[in-house]
Amino acid sequence: MKARIFQIYSVVLILSCVVTAFAVEAPDYVENHDTLYNNLTIEKRGTVVELRARSRAGEYLESAVDLADPLRLVVPYTRSLFAAAFFEPNPANVLMIGLGGAGFHRLFTHAFPAARLQSVELDPKVWELCQERLAFKPTAQTPVAVMDGRLFVKRNREQWDWLILDAFRGGFVPPHLKTQEYYRECAARLSERGVFVTNLHQDTELFAADLRTIQSVFPKVYLFQTHGRGNVIVCALKSTVSDLGWEPDIAALEKLNPKLASKLDLDSLAAELLPFPVELAAKGRILTDDFSPVEFLDALKTNNTKAR
C-alpha cells in the first residue's frame, strides 16, 4: 500500500514539475551589446522585448515593445508624452530626439496617420537593434537620422509641432541637451502653437534646475507626472495662448482623435497634470552652455523602472 502511495506521489510530483516548467515561460533570449555609447541589454520575454541600458546603479528600462500588441505603451512614461496632444491636437510634423526602441512611435503613427515623425538617435547600434529586435520598420513618414540631437536641431530648418526630447545615455541626459541655449534653439524650431516635450526625473537634484531653465525660455510650462515612476513630462509652449486656469479639454480631443482616445485613457492622462512647483523651481540654477554640471546634479535615484 505504501509503495502504491509513493508511486502516485512520485507521478504527481513529476507532473507538477513539468506543468510549472511550462507555466513559467523562460525568456526567449537575453543579449548584451557594448555599443559606442551604451552597454545595452535586449531581453525578450514572451511577446515583450525590453531595451535596457546599464547605468551607475544597475540596469534601467529605456524602452519596451509588445510585439503582439505594438500599440500598447509598455513603458508608462511614453503614455505621458501624449499629453502634448492637449496643447496641439493636430501635429503634422513631430521631432523626437532619442529613438530608443520606438515604443512611442507605434501608437503615434496609428493615432496620427497623416503626421510625419522624424527621430534622431546618436547611437547607431540602438537604431540597428530597434529595427532588428524591436521590429520597428521606418517609413517615409517616420525617418530616423543617426546624429547628435543638438546638431540636428541646429542644422535642420524645419518647424515642428511637437519637439520631444527624450535622449538618455546610461540614465542621464548629456549636458549640452539641458541648457538654456539649447532650449532656445528648440523654441526657435517650434511652430507657433508648437509644444516642447521633455522627460525629467523628479527625484533628482537636477529637477529644480531643469524646471528653472525650461521656464526661462518657455512662457508656459505644464507638468504631467507618470504615477509611481518618478518621471515628470514637461509640456512647454512658446505661445501664451493658454491661460493660468487651463485644463485639458478631454472631450474635444476624444472627438477629434477617436483612434488616440480608444488606445489611451485620456482622463487618467489629464489627471497626471501637476501644479507647477514654483518654490522648487526658484531654488534651481539656470543651466547654460557655460555652466551645466548635469552629471553632478543628476544623482539618479529613480528611473523608468527600479534598478534590476
Interacting residues toward other proteins by CB under 8 A: 36-37, 122, 147-151, 154-155, 174-176, 179, 181-182, 288-293, 296
d(CA 63, CA 67): 13
Residue 291 beta carbon to other proteins: minimum distance, rounded to whole angstroms: 4
Q: Smallest distance from the beta carbon of 167 to other proteins, in angstroms? A: 11
CB 71 within 8 A of CB 82: no
CA distance 290 to 187: 19
CB of 16 to other proteins, least distance (A): 53
Work out how close the CB of 299 gets to other proteins at its nearest, in angstroms, rounded to a whole number. Answer: 12
> Residue 152 corresponds to which amino acid?
F
Closest CB to other proteins among residues 258, 293: 293
Minimum gap (Å) between residue 33 Cβ and other proteins: 16
Cβ closest to other proteins, residue 109 vs residue 213:
213
Q: Pick between residue 62 and residue 298 the one whose CB is nearest to other proteins.
A: 298
